[in-house]
Amino acid sequence: MRAAVTSAPGRIAVETVADPDPGPGDAVLDVGAVGLCGTDLHMYLGERHDTGFPLRQGHELGGTVAALPRGYAGSLRLGQTVTVDPAIPCGRCRPCRRGRWPACRSFRALGVALPGGLADQVVVPVGQLHDADGLSAVEAALVEPFSIAAMALARAELVGDERVLVAGGGPIGLAVTVAAVAAGHAVLVCDPLPARRTLASELGADAVCAPAELADTVAEWTGGAGTDVAVEASGTRSALDAALAAVGAGGRLVVVGVAAHDLVVPVPRVLFDGVTIVGARAGLFPQALSVVAAHRGEVARFASVVYPLEDVAAAFTHAIERPDAVVKVMVAR
């Protein structure tokens, strides 16, 4: 079969590789579509030190079931459209045993430690598949970023008419926007790119602003109280600091953007203002599927451009060189 192989930093090409060899409990998918995310770009450029080359990338994927495990008695069927949870917890470590699987000490992920979806077919543990009948392959692939948004909002523990600041209007931030608006919350999106602010407004954001305007905008938007929840989805130091400063008394900061720098937290913010800081890792797929199925028009705006697998190198170049012009670059059959 064909598969895109990242052989060195900045070098990816379609090669002929062995057909899938599923083990016990594994399904085989015919891949329909894959989304490229920031993690993919960092891996492709050699900027992550926890991965080596060669790589078979692609963890945001949708497809159809080509084979099921021997003796499988579940509800999935051959030919069914599915989306894939790429994060596979070990099930054995202390966090997993306590039901806190997003903190698994031995996560394996498709497209990182395991061969990913930039191929004709991919092997996936059957328990990682979720029914996506009724969705297109592209929509099924986009469920994964929406699952991260669903986890972020679950960690935020929103109630009533609480307001949400989204710092970073990339794919995850915009997915948080769609999901939060769908749940009835007013959303402010902060992003340096005018095109992303415009799209956020079109997706239902109550207000948008550039980073330099954030403090004043939050003060006006909340009547000086600060936002109830801030979701930091950019991974930049400045956005993280600004998001924390924007949270009002009793509010929550949810960290989604992957970053290596420290977060400096004034103790009075936690002790006297009662600000809670949590991370959101991995996804909640049932909730994400509900949002995607109910808001297909908004979700369609995420797939900015679609490349065929044979043009995967051009897809990566497009995603890297035109971040101002795309939300999500997709690779589809």
- Condensed to tens digits (0 to 9), the pLDDT of residues 291-319 reads 999 999 999 999 989 999 999 999 999 99
C-alpha distances (whole Å) from 62 to each of 91, 194, 214 are 24, 30, 36
Nearest alpha-carbon partner for 244 in 232, 261, 259: 232
Q: How confident is the model at residue 258 (pLDDT cuts 50, 70, 90)?
A: confident
What is the band of 289 on the pLDDT scale with cuts at 50, 70, 90? Answer: very high
Cα 289 off chain centre by: 13
Final residue before a domain boundary, out of 264, 279, 294: 279
Is the distance from CB of 176 to CB of 231 less than 8 angstroms?
yes
pLDDT of residue 320: 92
pLDDT digits (tens, 9 = 90+) for 185-224: 999 999 999 999 999 999 999 999 999 999 999 999 999 9
Mean pLDDT of 124-146: 96
Distances (CA, A) of 314 to 8, 290, 310: 16, 32, 9
Range of the structural domain that residue 98 is part of: 2-133+302-332
What one-character DSSP code corresponds to residue 79? T
139 lies in some domain: no
* Domain-embedded: residue 296: no
Nearest to 246 by CA among 220, 280, 278, 272: 220
Of 103, 152, 122, nearest in space to 288 by CA = 152
pLDDT at site 324? 76
* 9 and 128 together in one domain: yes
Is residue 108 domain-shared with residue 197, that is, in the same domain?
Answer: no
User: What is the predicted pLDDT for the residue at 260?
Assistant: 66
Total of domains in the chain: 2
CATH code where residue 204 lies: 3.40.50.720
Residue with more model confidence, 217 or 105: 217
Mean pLDDT of the 257-269 span: 79
- 148, 283 in Cβ contact below 8 A? yes
149: region left, alpha or beta (phi > 0 left; psi from -120 to 50 alpha):
alpha
Same structural domain for residues 157 and 270? Answer: yes
Residue 333 banded pLDDT, cuts 50, 70, 90: confident
Instruction: Establish if 138 belongs to a structural domain.
Output: no
Closest-CA residue to 58 (of 9, 10, 123): 123
For residues 163 and 129, membership in a common domain is answered with: no
Structural domain contains residue 297: no
Please state, in angstroms and as integers, the Cα–Cα distance from residue 268 to each residue in 97, 106, 255, 273, 274, following that order: 34, 35, 20, 6, 8
Tell which of 279, 294, 323 closes a domain. 279
Q: Is residue 223 part of a domain?
A: yes
